[in-house]
Amino acid sequence: MKKILTLNELMPGDEAVISGVDDDTNSQDRLRDMGLSDGTPLRVIKYAPLGDPIEIKIRGFHLSIRNSVAKQIRVRRRNGKGKKN
């Protein structure tokens, strides 16, 4: 079984599958509307130069998410190829 991480712990190039969004997240419905739902695969593209936001590729499109929101998205890593800038 793979360890559950938060999205902000992944590095560029890492692939993961969403395993949940924290219940106390105010924007939980909005995130689900943007395609961040349980079981959805994603890939981390890059971090902004100062580390916030994080750009991911999910459902065929690129999405930028603030680190404060990424900390509330639980994922299971599919690979560990990435390298943090």
What is the H or E stretch that residue 69 is in? helix 67-70
**pLDDT digit string (tens) for 27-47?**
677 778 788 888 999 999 999
What is the H or E stretch that residue 32 is in? helix 28-33
Share of the chain above pLDDT 70, in %: 84
Q: Is residue 20 part of a domain?
A: yes
Q: Is residue 27 part of a domain?
A: yes
d(CA 23, CA 62): 24
Q: Is residue 22 part of a domain?
A: yes
Share of the chain above pLDDT 90, in %: 54
Q: Which CATH number covers residue 53?
A: 2.30.30.90
| CB proximity list for 31: less than 8 A, separation 6 or greater | 21, 25, 69, 73
Q: Is residue 36 part of a domain?
A: yes
- Quote the number of domains for the chain: 1
